[in-house]
């Protein structure tokens, strides 16, 4: 199936999209993150509102937090300024600017806004933005040259499973990911990688194995951080694939196992993405203890006592 019919099919089953104000960021979070040297840094994430990503991935639900049409010039600096104005001192160490799209797509982040954004992020030692591997290039270097802090780019590798990667509709090959990783390394820009747990077309019995293999792949190509992201249903396409037997939602125990098996990749930081963790299927008796253990694993990067549960073993 060609990309265009796949796009239409995926978009046709989407639920209604909320209407967002392009001049208002749709959220912020403040969390602790482990660094490669074992330190703990405070990281503020600002969820910016802007244009939708042009890549219609089968697993994605981030389109819900975007607008129709291009991001208006000046909107992102206005959103960011408002989000930062009430921050208490000392400021967080890292600022993550996630726009549910690609930071180096001029339709999503107008090029003329980069100087204003660079000025706003000047107080932060590290700045993270997200981007599809296909948009890494000249604008990446422009941003890196304008900010004072160290730039980190987060790229979705998602999976290295040969069947699954073909069905994601992501328009990315492993060769293109490798090229983007080399480009960042050559220009002294840090790399963070997103890896999926429970990717469609991966046998659920092999889900943890393929997640760990993708994390190893990312680490071998220079990633300093790898975030394990459980695939979340709700975008319509995943429900269609689940009905066909091509997708099985990942579980809390699988996420726990994947993080444990990635501890050997240290000093590369491999952490569970706990956004919407309450949606993961799991034993109600031990769920709170397992989520707490995952939080400890994310910060310690070392062995943590296992959770013993009489209900699920």
Structure confidence by residue, pLDDT tens digits, 49-98: 999 999 999 999 999 999 999 999 999 999 999 999 989 889 999 999 99
Q: What mean pLDDT, rounded, does the chain reach?
A: 96
CA separation for the pair 101, 68 (Å, rounded): 12
pLDDT, residue 1, reads 38
- State both tokens at 271: 């952490």
What kind of fold does domain 3-281 have according to CATH?
A: TIM Barrel (3.20.20)
Domain borders along the chain are 3-281
- Would you state the pLDDT for residue 3? 57
Distance (Å, rounded) from C-alpha 240 to C-alpha 13?
A: 8
pLDDT at residue number 2: 46
Say if CB 241 and CB 247 are below 8 A apart: yes
Spans of the chain below 50 pLDDT: 1-2
Q: Are 195 and 227 in contact (CB under 8 A)?
A: yes
Task: Round to whole Å and give the CA distance between 59 and 41.
Answer: 30
- Among 228, 294, 304, 224, CA closest to 39: 224
Gyration radius (Cα) of the chain, Å: 19
**Could you give the CA distance from residue 267 to residue 35 in angstroms, rounded to a whole number?**
9
User: Hey, which residues does 9 pair with through a beta bridge?
Assistant: none
**Ramachandran class of 64: left when φ > 0, alpha when ψ lies in -120 to 50, beta otherwise:** alpha
């Amino acid at each position: 199936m060609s990309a265009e019919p796949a796009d239409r099919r995926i978009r046709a089953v989407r639920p209604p999209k909320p209407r967002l104000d392009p001049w208002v960021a749709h959220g912020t979070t403040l969390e602790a993150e482990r660094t490669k040297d074992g330190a703990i840094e405070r990281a503020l994430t600002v969820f910016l509102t802007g244009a939708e990503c042009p890549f219609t991935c089968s697993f994605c639900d981030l389109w819900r937090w975007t607008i129709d049409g291009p991001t208006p010039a000046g909107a992102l600096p206005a959103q960011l300024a408002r989000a930062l104005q009430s921050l208490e001192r000392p400021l967080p160490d890292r600022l993550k600017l996630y726009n549910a799209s690609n930071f180096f797509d001029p339709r999503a982040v107008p090029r003329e806004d980069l100087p204003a954004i660079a000025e706003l992020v000047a107080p932060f030692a590290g700045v993270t933005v997200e981007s599809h591997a296909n948009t890494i290039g000249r604008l990446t270097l422009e941003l890196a040259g304008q900010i004072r802090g160290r730039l980190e780019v987060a790229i979705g590798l998602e999976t290295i499973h040969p069947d699954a990667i073909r069905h994601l509709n992501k328009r990315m090959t492993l060769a293109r990911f490798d090229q983007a990783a080399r480009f960042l390394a050559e220009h002294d820009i840090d790399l963070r990688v997103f890896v999926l747990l429970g990717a469609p077309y991966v046998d659920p019995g092999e889900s943890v194995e393929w997640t760990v293999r993708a994390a190893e792949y990312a680490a071998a190509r220079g990633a300093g951080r790898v975030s394990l992201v459980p695939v979340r249903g709700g975008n319509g396409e995943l429900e269609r694939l689940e009905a066909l037997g091509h997708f099985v939602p990942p579980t809390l125990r699988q996420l726990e196992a994947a993080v444990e098996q990635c501890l050997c990749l240290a000093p590369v930081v491999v952490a569970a993405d706990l956004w919407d963790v309450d949606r993961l299927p799991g034993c109600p008796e031990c769920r709170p203890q397992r989520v707490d253990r995952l939080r400890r694993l994310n910060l310690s990067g070392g062995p943590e006592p296992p959770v013993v549960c009489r209900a699920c073993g």
